[in-house]
Amino acid sequence: MFPTLFTPLSVGPIELSNRIISSGHETIMVTEGVISDRMHAYHMARADGGVGLIVVQVSQVDPSEGDDGGMLFAFDDVVIPGYARLATDAHQRGTKVFAQLHHGGREAHRKGDGTLPVPVGPSAIPNERFLMMPRELSVARIKDIIGYFAAAADRMRRAGIDGVEIVASHGYLPAQFLNPNSNQRSDEYGGDAQGRLRFLREIVQATRTAVGPDLAVGVRISIDEVGHDGLPSDVALDAVAELDRDALVDYVSVVSGSSATYVGSHHIVPSMAHEVGYVAPRAALVKQRVSVPVFVAGRINQPQDAERILASGLADGCVMTRAMICDPDMPRKAKAAQTEEIRACIGCNQACIGHYLGGYPISCIQHPETGRELTYGIITPAPSSRRVLVVGGGPGGLKAATAAADRGHRVELHESAARVGGQALLAEKIPGRAEFGGIVTNLEGEARRAGVVIRTGSTVTMQCIDELRPDVVIVATGAEPRIPALAIDGNLPILTAWQVLDGAEVPRGDVVVVDWRGDWIGLGTSIALARRGRRVTLAVTGPHAGQSLMQYVRDEMTADALNLGVSIVAFTRPYGVDDDTVYLQHVLTGNPVMVEAGSLVLAMGHESVDGLLRELELRTDIEVIGVGDCVAPRTAEEAVLEGLKAAASLG
């Protein structure tokens, strides 16, 4: 099915078995700067799944650069055993391993003690996102950093790694030197295009000398940093063309965006709001300028999309990192033409980059085994087969049912609605988030393939349970919208966000959406109403819209709302309504805030639907486990993880 995707690819002296690449991405699984057992198991799951190349996350080359506790150290020999073990075990599985060498420059991390490091850059030009004013590097320090890259590359050679990748992407230090907006030097490392290229050129030259002829050397670079002062695309293209002309690189890995700006950072891990494979045309521009293989990243989540990009000649290798965070076995399934069994990434960014930005080990809301391979990576058959009843067919119930069936239990799932999916069926109706419905497709397919009997339109009562006589009941009955107490004086129409997203007619006039949680619901409902041509005020309890969302998704949705004319009022809670006014209260000052409106829409969180769970908890003859929102309203991530844990706990 995928003749190009599974064709071997020569990258300098290294041959990849296929063209599927797991790119460098931070995992928060590092222990004191070295590859931990947890991180090793994470990468081995992808190697077992058939990936052609693993590029390990960034390794810090400069010992003076700040460390937030999650980075690998390439400046000390202590890292060599971990890399060596990773390379040896990956090679046994047919996978090659490259290391990623990095210096953030002004994009600096906090130190382990919470203080700020001294950020550095080619010039004292601050960034927008991290509010860092860098110290201009002296020529002597520049030479030191070039030496750090070479020394780190030599450590990778001694560890048996197959190649090294220099990170010149996303506004990091080499890109800062290339960029005339951040490099205003007049010495040999600035002044003109050749001067600004000198830093990257000398890093690559020193790296190639350090690793010798047996390792591949590549550069990762952003073509379009998508920011007001980002690296111009023509400068980036000229840079890689010159490196190729001088035979310094064996490949170029193309990305987009920059860490330095809010709008540029969205493209580091683009959400489902971006088109599939949207960076591929930019990779094609690089292919026109270089003779070496070109990799491309950016929303390539399915093998058919990768095949199309490769067959069209836009690139030579496809970075499919999140696709394999979601389904480590994606390459193996694609090669075996088992495409219907692939658990497709939906680009939600919740547990992958969302966890990273929060300082937690990465995972996947659909596949919580990711990052937990040492705990849940191997399915353990149950000592005996039990009859398991799952009540509720949302993501948590579906995952519990599948995991229990995979362990050998006899599982029935009952869902009171006509379709399984729960709140995910509403989430997919939020503008720009239609792919979220893929979680239902994936989890339902896995449940049916595992042998789960699914009954929809079936409301489970205590009488039903007595008739079915299960050994275990897993309750996943979800939640419903919370309706707060309001002072009502008049007939202003009041709806819930659920009703709006489900297509309910909203009376004419301006709309106020009140949002307590600051997640997708209030912001998404506001966008939906604005797209219907309504004038919307979004009143949020927190300091800004989308407070609970990871930054990339929050900023993109906020920009969408603002472009549609949504007015955002922060630090407010709903107090009451009359015929034509919504009364709010400022949460800090207590002062009243009044907004004229024709209707009010509530996005005030949820209340657990836990009646059945509470009744069952009084029984002593049935084992009962609650998962997801019926225990406490949260997100799909917690529901799916608790479903997995519930099944794993069954004896």
All structural domains of the chain, each given as residue ranges with its CATH number in brackets, are 9-328+337-345+358-374 (3.20.20.70), 382-481+610-615+633-649 (3.40.50.720), 487-604 (3.50.50.60)
Give the C-alpha distances (Å, rounded to integers) separating 431 from 217, 528, 553.
42, 6, 13
Give the C-alpha distances (Å, rounded to integers) separating 313 from 287, 293, 296, 421.
9, 11, 12, 39
Query: What is the C-alpha separation between 523 and 512, in angstroms, rounded?
Result: 12
The β-bridge relationship of strands 599-603 and 606-608 is unpaired
The pLDDT, as a whole number, for residue 462 is 96
Residue 317, token pair as written in the block: 């290798």
DSSP, collapsed to helix, strand or coil, labels residue 514 as strand
Residue type present at position 165: E
Residue 522, token pair as written in the block: 């209030």
The pLDDT, as a whole number, for residue 68 is 65
Query: Taking a C-beta distance cutoff of 8 angstroms, is the pair 414, 458 a contact?
Result: yes
Q: Provide the β-strand partners of residue 390.
A: 413, 474
The pLDDT, as a whole number, for residue 69 is 67
Residue type present at position 420: V
Q: How buried is 270 (Cβ within 10 angstroms: 0-12 exposed, 13-18 middle, 19+ buried)?
A: buried
Query: What is the C-alpha separation between 561 and 567, in angstroms, rounded?
Result: 8
Query: What is the C-alpha separation between 3 and 336, in angstroms, rounded?
Result: 12
Query: What is the C-alpha separation between 239 and 233, in angstroms, rounded?
Result: 10
Please tell me the pTM assigned to this model: 0.96
Residue 403's nearest CA partner among 370, 439, 447, 442 is 447
* Residues of the chain with confidence (pLDDT) below 50: none
Under 8 Å CB-to-CB from 499, ≥6 apart: which residues?
none
